[in-house]
Amino acid sequence: MASESVVDSFRPVEMSTDVVSTDSSKTRTLPDLGTIDIRQAGWVILDVFVSGRYCKYVRNLPQSPWIIDGVRKCESSVQELIGPILAAHFVADSYKFMASGREDVDVRMLGRGRPFIVELINTHRPHLSEKQYAAIQKEINQKSAGKIRILDLQQVSDKDTETLKHGEEFKEKSYQCVLWMPEPVERERLESLSQTPEFEIEQLTPIRVLHRRSLCSRKRKISKMSFTYINSHYALLDIKTQAGTYIKEFVHSDLGRTRPSLGDLLGQDVQILYLDVTEVELDFPKKLENEEEPVSNAGTILDSIDLNSVPSITCADGSKSPSFQPSPPPQNAHQCSPLLS
């Protein structure tokens, strides 16, 4: 017996089908369960749900792997910078990444970031301490420095996935974008638009996502717009909207598929050059004490734009943007390298 392993020392057990009662006249018979071999028994391990918020500081990183016809378009993704490290620490068989909405590959996620949940499947090390969570968060941030930063990493319940889904559809989000207008616009016109009260728009599924989303029409609320005049052709727009609003399409109308659009309000074909998400208003997960607030070194949204040049823009109909003679930018405008088309 000493030479047997612990597992081999277990023997098949014959399961009795008779249940003895204190009343000899009432003996119940159970179905024949046969022989159970403990060596073939498996453990059922509950999944672990880990949440946090992520910031994204680059414009070439999708939220999930971007693969078209078997060809990878970007070398990594937010999901791949977070999920595998968590899976390794929890010794999980696999994982699923979920977030409260998503930004486009060329859009940064700033502020306190976007809430996410990682479901770790069949974990073999399900219980970690707060110090271990903090160490994992630090590891992810160090390995992804300059690309993403996560905060408030903590364990949550499976029911919190509903909170995440609700925020994706019904909470508000704030954005900042750089606008280019082919026709000169006066400062007073933008200041007037900044006073526009809350209004509703209707959007058809954008052309650029029709290959993966069904065609439908949905109404979304624009809560607030604030314009910053740069020169007669460039402006900054800070905008707060209902979650699920397609900001790019609100600006350029997507060939009339969004009504009203900013182009409708200004009476010309407005183009959006860069877009940042600045806030996702969802009180989840809970803010951790002593959490170091994210500080971006990614620069302002005006970096990499030459405000004296005409941007090269391919419009939704395939045409190129017209040229113009721009007004001199204000002295405090950012002077950076030319915009890449």
**pLDDT per residue over 84-136, tens digit each?**
999 999 999 999 999 999 999 999 999 999 999 999 999 999 999 999 999 99
Contact 221, 157 (CB under 8 A): no
Q: Determine the Cα–Cα distance for residues 258 and 167; give it in Å rounded to an integer.
A: 23
Q: Band the pLDDT of 2: cuts 50, 70, 90.
A: very low
pLDDT digits (tens, 9 = 90+) for 41-96: 556 678 999 999 999 999 999 999 998 889 999 999 999 999 999 999 999 999 99
Neighbouring C-beta atoms of residue 143, cutoff 10 Å? 12
Give, in order, the Cα–Cα distances in Å from 295 to each of 111, 148, 236, 239, 273. Answer: 8, 11, 22, 22, 24
Active site residues: 104
Q: Which of 168, 169, 166, 193 is nearest to 270 (CA)?
A: 193
Give the pLDDT band (50/70/90) at residue 197.
very high
Which stretches of 189-257 are assigned E, i.e. beta strand? 199-204, 217-229, 234-242
Per-residue pLDDT tens over the stretch 294-338: 876 667 898 877 777 777 655 444 444 443 333 333 333 322 222
Alpha carbons 163 and 53: distance in angstroms, whole number:
14
Distance, in Å, from the CA atom of 10 to the CA atom of 66, rounded to the nearest integer, reads 50
Enumerate the β-bridge partners of residue 200.
221
CB of 294 closer than 8 Å to CB of 302: no
| Distance of alpha carbon 191 from alpha carbon 199, whole angstroms | 17
30 band by pLDDT with thresholds 50, 70 and 90: low
The answer to whether 307 and 275 are in contact (CB under 8 A) is no
pLDDT tens string 279-289: 999 999 999 98
**Domains detected in the chain:** 48-168 (3.30.70.2510), 171-280 (3.30.70.3190)
The amino acid sitting at 207 is I
Whole-angstrom distance, CA of residue 123 vs CA of residue 101: 26
The 10s digit of each residue's pLDDT in 209-230 is: 998 889 999 999 999 999 999 9
Written as six digits, the tokens of 9 are 């020392």
Report d(CA 97, CA 79) in Å as an integer.
6
Among 108-112, 271-275, 337-341, the range scoring the smallest mean pLDDT is 337-341
Helices in the chain by DSSP H: which ranges?
78-90, 130-143, 160-170, 187-193, 247-252, 262-266
Per-residue confidence (pLDDT) for residue 25, from 0 to 100 = 58
CA 62, 221, 293, 176 dihedral sign is positive
Beta strands, E only, the chain:
13-14, 18-19, 28-29, 35-36, 48-56, 67-68, 71-72, 92-99, 108-123, 148-156, 172-180, 199-204, 217-229, 234-242, 258-259, 271-280
